[in-house]
Amino acid sequence: MTLTESHDLRSGAVPWRESGWPAPPSNPFPDEPVDIAILGSGIVGALIAERLSGKGQRIALFDRRPPGCGSTAASTAQIMWAMDVPMSDLARTLGEAEAARRWRRVHDAVLDLGKRIDGLGIDCGRVDRPTLYLAGTILDEAGLAAETEMHRRHGLPSTFLEADEMAQRFGIAPRAAIVSADGFEIKPVRLCHALLERACRNGASVTWPVDITALHPIDGGVLLETADERKCRARNVILATGYERASLFLPPAFALHSTFAIATPPGYAPPWREQAMIWEASDPYLYVRADRLGRIIAGGEDQDSSDEETRDARIAVKAGTIAAKLEAMLGAGPIPIDRAWAALFGSSPDGLPAIGPAAAMPHVWLAAGFGGNGIAFANLAAQIFERELNGVHDPDRDCFSPYRFA
């Protein structure tokens, strides 16, 4: 059995210029023990490495791909704190106080990420955007109104809009909605590379391509072994391997699906106001944003299968369905499709990530951002590990335990 699954994480044509992603140079494989080994150099691994670097610990990242070129490169880059599973649904399972605790912590992670990007002076196209959550099959108008009240009771910046009010403000087809503040857009690969560069300046190393195929418990840590039998000792290991699951450690409740997206040509003026990031309270849902080049980027139409061949065969049909739904949402069309792509996507029953210590081996930690807020969850993991790996217990760690569904 290999340590992690191997997948074709994305396919089709993304609208970003991949030639503009010069990969960070690969460092030699470590010849001395490290304090923290991070498996995965996408946005999750990069955020964790930057946060932990510069504190006197030796950090080494390993990846079988060029950094940031897996699922990070397929992201549509909407950074939001409102999650796939409504707070009101989570409250019915956990109680309102516990549901709000989790939502507030994710909101804090989004705010913290924005402040950190700005504070470090990283040029990754960060622009603040409102988010617009439209009534659908999961929450109707009454459900959205109740959801908004729950947000507001717990200090989350949301406002309920009736259908006509929403249409007048945003200029799209009338539908009741929640409008929320504190979201933003970024360029994920650029942010990933900038964070890795900063981590390396602080003494971290990034080695790729290298495939870590086994972990062995040893006194005081873990022995990492590669496919070609190189070995590295680490005091702690963080599995930030994205949707290539470490199935020995990650429970099956964290499932894989396929998701699809389209982009219009640049210069196609977005036909709604405030350049809000829009999504639906539906299953399957549609989400849409506009970038600074005037492209509309929309996605959704998730399917349960994670089979790459089946996924790729459906890109054209799914692209057409997304475009048709987008025309209905906006009350405008036709929508020209310039790019269409598909990607692997992970979910969990409560829409929250798997962050915390692994049960099967000491000194191993999981950072699996399964759900529609993967980059927000990545920064949440970075916050938690900054405390936990420096001997300070994070009071919310168990909220995101990988084993909470056992």
- In the chain, the domains with their CATH numbers are 10-75+189-253+351-400 (3.50.50.60), 130-181+254-347 (3.30.9.10)
- Who's near 179: CB < 8 A, 6+ residues apart? 130, 131, 132, 133, 158, 159, 161, 166, 169, 276
Give the separation between CA 396 and CA 67, rounded to whole angstroms: 29
Q: pLDDT at residue 44 above 80?
A: yes
Q: What is the mean pLDDT of residues 63-78?
A: 84
Q: Which amino acid type is present at position 7?
A: H
- Who's near 17: CB < 8 A, 6+ residues apart? none
pLDDT at 19: 64
Give the separation between CA 74 and CA 53, rounded to whole angstroms: 26
Spatial CA neighbour of 390 closest among 41, 117, 111, 54: 54
The enclosing H or E element of 60 equals: strand 59-62
Q: What is the mean pLDDT of residues 69-79?
A: 80
CA angle 59, 210, 38 (to 5 degrees): 25
Give the separation between CA 298 and CA 84, rounded to whole angstroms: 16
Q: What is the mean pLDDT of residues 227-241?
A: 96
The pLDDT tens digits for 298-337 are 999 999 888 889 999 999 999 999 999 999 988 887 899 9
Q: Are 178 and 133 in contact (CB under 8 A)?
A: yes
pLDDT at 78: 83
pLDDT at 285: 87
The pLDDT tens digits for 280-292 are 999 888 999 998 8
- Who's near 34: CB < 8 A, 6+ residues apart? 58, 59, 60, 232, 233, 234, 235
Give the separation between CA 169 and CA 112, rounded to whole angstroms: 29
pLDDT at 1: 52
pLDDT at 230: 96
Task: Tell me which of 194-208, 282-296, 354-368 is least confident.
Answer: 282-296
Task: Tell me which of 63-72, 170-179, 183-192 is least confident.
Answer: 63-72
pLDDT at 293: 87
The pLDDT tens digits for 83-123 are 999 999 999 999 999 999 999 999 999 999 999 999 999 99
Q: pLDDT at residue 18 above 70?
A: no
Measure Cα distances from 141 to 147, 166, 175 in Å: 10, 12, 8
- Across the chain, mean pLDDT equals 93
Q: What is the mean pLDDT of residues 155-162?
A: 98
Q: What is the mean pLDDT of residues 59-79?
A: 87
Residue 254: pLDDT band by 50, 70, 90 thresholds? Answer: very high
Q: Which amino acid type is present at position 232?
A: C
The pLDDT tens digits for 371-400 are 888 899 999 999 999 999 999 999 999 999
Q: What is the mean pLDDT of residues 43-51?
A: 97
* Per-residue buried b or exposed e for 100-129, using 16+ beta carbons within 10 Å of the residue's own CB: bebbbbbbbbbebbbebbeeeebebbbeeb
